[in-house]
Amino acid sequence: MHSTRAAPGTVIGGRYALRAAVGHGGMGTVWRATDTVLRREVAVKEVVLPPGLAASDAEAMYERTHREARAAAALSHPSVVQVFDVVVEEGRPWIVMELLDARSLADMVIEDGPVAPRAVAKIGVALLGALEVAHAAGVLHRDVKPANVLITRDGRCVLTDFGVAKLPTDVQLTTPGMVLGSPHFISPERALGHRFGPPSDLFSLGVTLYTAVEGRPPFDKGDPLATMHSVVEDPPALPQRCGPLADVLYGLMEKDPQRRWDVPTSRGFLREMLAGPLAQNASPQHVTDPWAIVAPPPPPPPVYQQRRQEKQVGGRAMLHTGEMPADRFTRSRQGTQAQPVLGDAKPNKLRFAVIGGIAAVLIAATVSWAMFGGDDDPKGTQPTGQPQNKPSASASAAPANTEVLTLSGVSVNVPKGWKRSPSSTYVDVQDPADTTRWLRINVTNEKNAKSALESADNRKIGNCDAGTYEKISLTDVELAGTPGAQLEFRCSIKGVPKHGIWRIAVIKGAARHCYLQVPEATFAADKAIFDAAVASYKVT
């Protein structure tokens, strides 16, 4: 049995020529490929076995891949990814699927911030349809989460990765007590090891929609076991941004599967919201498109586009099991044509017994989980009562090669001529000739600087390439004369060696960050940028 990873140029099944890897997941790598027979672009999923996996476990993983293909190929719905073929090459299964010009809902939230309630409602309608078709065919998805939801450029919403889907006729492939799926999105009955069915997928859908509109998972505790305990025992974090979607979120996240909202109830409610409180004028090109989720992409923005001033939280918890969310800011996207109301189902308002006066849960993690180019670290939340000042150059003196930047009561020297990408509580300062060289000044809500950096270190700084993260040091230091902590690390991101140094101190009730990340090749020289910033750091 072979487990060597494929490479560009490999031909699978005598017809599918692999071009480039476009994604990685728990079950392997997805390749962009060309079907040389039909002369069309396709996606090919390769199973990548973990190192040292026993032969029996490898066989089980291969069988799961076959099962994914069988489950998905049997379904016909615009919100289920289409499977074209299954090929066995050198003893390994490969799944050939439609190639979508899309990005995941997880990436949307991490990169852009929480999604507008109207768009989330339309995503909900689409995914309810996909689950309805799957459940009618006897297929449970068992891993509904934002990372498995794709939104295409033309607004189509697709549920992917039936890798842990279960057919009624399948043999048991997991040992008793083994839980598949992501703990942030697992249903209470599955977390307890009880019997489960379609309501379990609907609970996961509720958590997915909550995460999309709120920007963070509702039960996150920073640890897989603690998170699953919260799923079973705790109410969700009090929502802040969902607006009229609160009822359907609580209905889908009902702990008791017998009381949980079903597909018709949930869909009827969402359609009423889209025709009522969430209605808006449709773009002409989407009037007849029943699956449109988001508006067509706008023209390319300026490289250093200012983001909207609004607190947001996002999370890599949506991407991989056991990982915490990171702070993110909104670039909310509006939906398009409202779906007509079909049916007159009016659900009862089912809510958890939420303790009166419960505060909104603010996730303390500030590490980025989406290190793409220069936008690869947390964008903090505004401390209560802090003024929302736009960064600007101060008239006070600064060294010739720097200029003074002020932000939310912070004054710091940054490289002169570097471009700024600001929001209400943070600013990125980037080398205009190389945006992978950047300095971030940030203000967030953490109460313990070292704990925040220890959490970042434990999670190996999010999107570092697997196995490349290396902690250099985690030390006690000062920032603006206040005791704090500093993390220095190396890792590769998309194959490029990076070097980061991140200092935090809690000053006047807010966590003050100074964070430099640059290519390893330039760190020795760029360290002076960080040193100048922390030496000049002042809080007014």
Half-sphere exposure (CA, 13 Å, Cβ side) for 413? Answer: 17
Options 107, 112, 143, 428, the catalytic residue: 143
Residue 275 DSSP class: H
Identify whether the C-beta of residue 329 lies closer than 8 Å to the C-beta of residue 308.
yes
Query: What's the confidence (pLDDT) of residue 465?
Result: 81
Query: What's the confidence (pLDDT) of residue 72?
Result: 74
pLDDT, one tens digit per residue, over 160-202 is: 876 544 433 333 333 333 333 478 899 999 888 888 899 999 9
Confidence of residue 68 (pLDDT cuts 50, 70, 90): low
Of 303, 101, 131, give the one whose Cα is nearest residue 209.
Answer: 131
Angle between helices 198-214 and 117-136 (to 10 degrees): 160
* Weakest mean pLDDT among 168-182, 389-403, 416-430, 483-497: 168-182
Of 367, 458, 321, give the one whose Cα is nearest residue 25.
Answer: 321
Beta-carbon contacts of residue 386 (< 8 Å; ≥ 6 apart): 408, 409, 425, 443, 510
What is the rounded average pLDDT for all residues in the chain?
74
Architecture field, domain 11-98? 2-Layer Sandwich (3.30)
Query: What's the confidence (pLDDT) of residue 296?
Result: 44
For 53-73, what is the mean pLDDT? Answer: 74
What is the phi/psi pair of residue 286, to 5°?
-115, 5
Beta-carbon contacts of residue 290 (< 8 Å; ≥ 6 apart): 339
Query: What's the confidence (pLDDT) of residue 328?
Result: 33
Domain chopping of the chain, boundaries: 11-98, 102-327, 392-539
pLDDT, one tens digit per residue, over 325-337 is: 333 333 333 333 3
* Cα 187 from Cα 131, distance rounded (Å): 15
CATH match of 392-539 with 3.40.50.2300:
no
Catalytic: 431? no
Percent residues over pLDDT 70 in the chain: 69
Query: What's the confidence (pLDDT) of residue 308?
Result: 38
* Cα 217 from Cα 210, distance rounded (Å): 7
In SS3 terms, 126-153 reads as: HHHHHHHHHHHCCCECCCCCHHHEEEEC
pLDDT, one tens digit per residue, over 253-309 is: 999 999 999 999 999 999 999 999 898 754 433 333 344 555 444 445 444 333 333
Q: Is 393 helix (H, G, I), strand (E, B) or coil?
A: strand
Identify whether the C-beta of residue 90 lies closer than 8 Å to the C-beta of residue 302.
no
* Weakest mean pLDDT among 110-114, 345-349, 354-358: 354-358
Question: Per mean pLDDT, which of 409-413, 423-427, 534-538 is the most reliable?
Answer: 534-538
Query: What's the confidence (pLDDT) of residue 101?
Result: 85
Residue 308 DSSP class: P
Query: What's the confidence (pLDDT) of residue 161?
Result: 78
- pTM greater than 0.75 (yes/no): no
What is the phi/psi pair of residue 294, to 5°?
-125, 160
* Cα 158 from Cα 370, distance rounded (Å): 21
Question: Per mean pLDDT, which of 17-31, 377-391, 447-461, 512-526 is the most reliable?
Answer: 512-526
Confidence of residue 51 (pLDDT cuts 50, 70, 90): low
Query: What's the confidence (pLDDT) of residue 376?
Result: 36
Structure-block tokens of residue 153: 């450029």
Q: Residue 451: what residue type? A: S
Burial of residue 497 (number of CB atoms within 10 Å: 0-12, 13-18, 19+): middle
**102-327 fold:** Transferase(Phosphotransferase); domain 1 (1.10.510)
Question: Per-residue pLDDT for 527 more than 70?
Answer: yes
